[in-house]
């Protein structure tokens, strides 16, 4: 059966994905196709996964899959598309977002069935702790590279409004799957309780940030 616009109303498509997705790890996209009629259906499915920005504008193509399926009456089937880091690593936008589109063409129908969805990969954690001694603020930054390849062109950017002007610290390459610990020290120019933001940028991973609240009391040191 077909509805008034020529799109079959007895074949449905559903896109699903895991909830806990992290940059650097593989993930699966599941496409369920269901035939609600009593008659067999021949269907051609085309799935495209592309990187995108927060507005939904697509960029690089990550993966394309075209398959032909035959569903008997009341039958459903789920196709799983595996996406590895090597598929998306160098094509991913800074925001870690993907757009998924599925087009299903049922034999005998005049118009396709379309479904769209989007997913966002989580960034790895950047842990920031602090030690304050008078005007001296020491930041202890810990980070684990989740990728199977080293991070190059690494920089830490530090912002602490009213305490210090924004500054950048170069960081050596971070080996694959390795955890680093870096100490960053600055001299505060004022007292107060402020939030310090540390951001890690590299060639492959960008805008990874962590923060810590510090309280500076000028003129007071641990020896006082």
Domain with residues 11-120, CATH architecture: Sandwich (2.60)
- The pLDDT assigned to 208 comes to 94
Q: Yes or no: say if 213 and 161 are a contact pair by the CB < 8 Å rule.
A: no
- The pLDDT assigned to 3 comes to 47
Domain ranges of the chain: 11-120, 126-216
Tokens of 17: 């994905």
- The pLDDT assigned to 2 comes to 44
- The pLDDT assigned to 109 comes to 87
Superfamily of domain 126-216: Immunoglobulins (2.60.40.10)
* Whole-angstrom distance, CA of residue 30 vs CA of residue 17: 6
- The pLDDT assigned to 1 comes to 43
How many other β-carbons are positioned within 10 Å of the β-carbon of residue 171? 19
| Residue numbers in the chain where pLDDT is lower than 50 | 1-5, 224
**pTM of the prediction?**
0.78
DSSP string of 166-214? EEEEEE--B-TT-EEEEEEEEE-SS-EEEEEEEEEE-SS---EEEEEEE
* Whole-angstrom distance, CA of residue 216 vs CA of residue 224: 14
How many other β-carbons are positioned within 10 Å of the β-carbon of residue 192? 14
Question: Listing from the earlier edge strand, what are the strands of the sheet with 113-120?
Answer: 58-71, 41-52, 97-106, 113-120
- The pLDDT assigned to 212 comes to 98
Tokens of 13: 């498509």
* Whole-angstrom distance, CA of residue 29 vs CA of residue 65: 11
* Whole-angstrom distance, CA of residue 157 vs CA of residue 67: 46
- Provide the 3-class DSSP secondary structure of residue 52: strand
Q: Yes or no: say if 80 and 28 are a contact pair by the CB < 8 Å rule.
A: yes
- The pLDDT assigned to 222 comes to 56
């Amino acid at each position: 059966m077909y509805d008034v616009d020529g799109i079959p109303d007895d074949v449905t498509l559903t896109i699903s994905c895991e909830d806990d997705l992290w940059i650097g790890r593989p993930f699966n996209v599941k496409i369920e196709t269901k035939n609600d009629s009593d008659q067999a259906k021949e269907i051609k499915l085309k799935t495209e996964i592309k990187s995108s920005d927060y507005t939904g504008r697509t960029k690089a193509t990550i993966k394309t899959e075209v398959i032909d399926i035959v569903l008997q009456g009341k039958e459903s089937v789920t196709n799983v598309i595996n996406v590895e880091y090597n598929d998306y690593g160098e094509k991913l936008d800074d925001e870690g977002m993907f757009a998924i589109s599925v087009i299903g063409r049922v034999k005998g129908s005049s118009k396709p069935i379309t479904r769209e969805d989007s997913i966002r990969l989580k960034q790895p954690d950047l842990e920031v702790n602090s030690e304050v001694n008078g005007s001296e603020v020491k930041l202890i930054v810990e980070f684990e590279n989740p990728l199977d390849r080293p991070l190059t062109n690494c920089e830490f950017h530090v912002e602490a409004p009213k305490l210090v002007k924004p500054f950048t610290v170069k960081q050596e390459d971070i080996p694959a799957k390795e955890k680093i610990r870096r100490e960053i020290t600055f001299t505060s120019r004022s007292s107060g309780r402020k939030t310090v933001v540390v951001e890690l940028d590299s060639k492959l991973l960008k805008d990874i940030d962590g923060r810590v609240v510090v309280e500076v009391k000028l003129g007071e040191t641990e020896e006082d």
